[in-house]
Amino acid sequence: MFFPSQNSSPSFKDFTLVMPAVAVGNVGQLAADLIVSTLDMSRVGYMHTDCLAPMAGNNPYTRRKGDAEELHTAAEVYTAAGRKLAVLQIRAPIIEIRSKKFIRLLLSWIKTSGFSRTVVLSSSHAHRRDDQQLRGAPLRYLATPSLLGGAADALEGLGWRDMERVTEADAEPRLSVPGGGITKRLFTESCAEDLPLAVLLRFCSEGDNVPDAFALANHLNDWLRLLDDPSLKQNTWTAPSSWSLLFGSGVPPALF
């Protein structure tokens, strides 16, 4: 599934993996863009699987002259080795009938690579919230028992709100992440396999989801302190060059 860019495969042992779920508003993917762009992360490989819709395009993180024409694909892995941080960016939809297979392949790669923890950036439909989910900021988290074993105090100190379980009729409360793509299944499978994994999500609606992405990235930064680095020119997120085309290239003057 994973193919390195160089002849030798990079070591991910004890790295933190951050990845998006392809979910409503593409908020997780946009937040992952902010991380890769701001930290000037290096591409170290890509994922090749029939579980993702095939796509290719120019470099979304153009930083210098001559690198805009680099070919980039549906799922790629970036690292900031000094921080022991890796980002798996997914740019294409997960084919629905192959989502279970994708999760199996993904969890297998995570286990064999030796990541110390995985953080999934996701989103959920704002209009599907129940009464208790309307309270407070529109940000929630989930954590597997394996991750809580070493991070419970840190998460508690942040004052974050755990994702509420919803109750329908007389049924038992259950986890529901409408619009979250593979989020729920990925979390439950990680619990079953005793993997340290956290989900950070934002309730949102489709539209201009750039503010949601900044909010989710800031939420992650409260925990991982990604912007606390003297090597950064400024302690703020840097949007990638590709975002200039999020809503098209503008109105052609020839129309008027």
pLDDT band at 124 (very low <50, low <70, confident <90, very high): very high
Rounded to 5 degrees, what angle do the CA atoms 148, 114, 44 make?
Answer: 120
Segment among 52-56, 209-213, 227-231 with least mean pLDDT? 227-231
Q: Is the pLDDT of residue 144 over 70?
A: yes
Determine what percent of the chain falls in helix, strand and coil, rounding each to the nearest 5: 35, 25, 40
Distance (Å, whole) CA 165 – CA 177? 9
Distance (Å, whole) CA 45 – CA 242? 20
pLDDT band at 251 (very low <50, low <70, confident <90, very high): low
Closest CA to 75 of 12, 25, 179, 2: 2
pLDDT tens per residue, range 153-171? 888 889 899 998 887 766 7
Q: CATH 3.40.50.10900: does it fit domain 2-255?
A: yes
Q: SS3 of 226, please?
A: coil
In the predicted model, what is the mean pLDDT of residues 27-48? 94
Distance (Å, whole) CA 54 – CA 85? 26
In the predicted model, what is the mean pLDDT of residues 207-236? 90
Distance (Å, whole) CA 79 – CA 17? 9
Distance (Å, whole) CA 213 – CA 199? 15
CA atoms within 13 A on the CB side of 153: 1
- The one-letter code for the residue type at 19 is M
| pLDDT score at 10 | 85
Distance (Å, whole) CA 231 – CA 244? 26
Q: Which positions ≥6 away from 245 have C-beta within 8 Å?
A: none
| pLDDT score at 247 | 74
Q: What is the dihedral of CA 143, 119, 90, 243, to 10 degrees?
A: 120
Q: In the beta sheet, which residues pair with residue 2? A: 47
Q: Is the pLDDT of residue 112 over 70?
A: yes
In the predicted model, what is the mean pLDDT of residues 139-143? 94
Q: Which positions ≥6 away from 90 have C-beta within 8 Å?
A: 19, 20, 22, 29, 47, 52, 74, 75
| pLDDT score at 249 | 67
pLDDT tens per residue, range 172-194? 888 999 999 999 999 999 999 99
Q: In the beta sheet, which residues pair with residue 199? A: 120, 142
In the predicted model, what is the mean pLDDT of residues 123-139? 91
The domain locations on the chain are: 2-255
Rounded to 5 degrees, what angle do the CA atoms 169, 172, 178 make?
Answer: 75
Sign of CA pseudo-dihedral 216, 217, 219, 223 = positive
Residue with the larger pLDDT of the pair 103 and 248: 103
In the predicted model, what is the mean pLDDT of residues 103-132? 94
Distance (Å, whole) CA 224 – CA 200? 12
Residue with tokens 């002849």: 7
| pLDDT score at 177 | 94
In the predicted model, what is the mean pLDDT of residues 1-29? 90
| pLDDT score at 170 | 67
Q: Which positions ≥6 away from 190 have C-beta within 8 Å?
A: 107, 118, 144, 146, 197
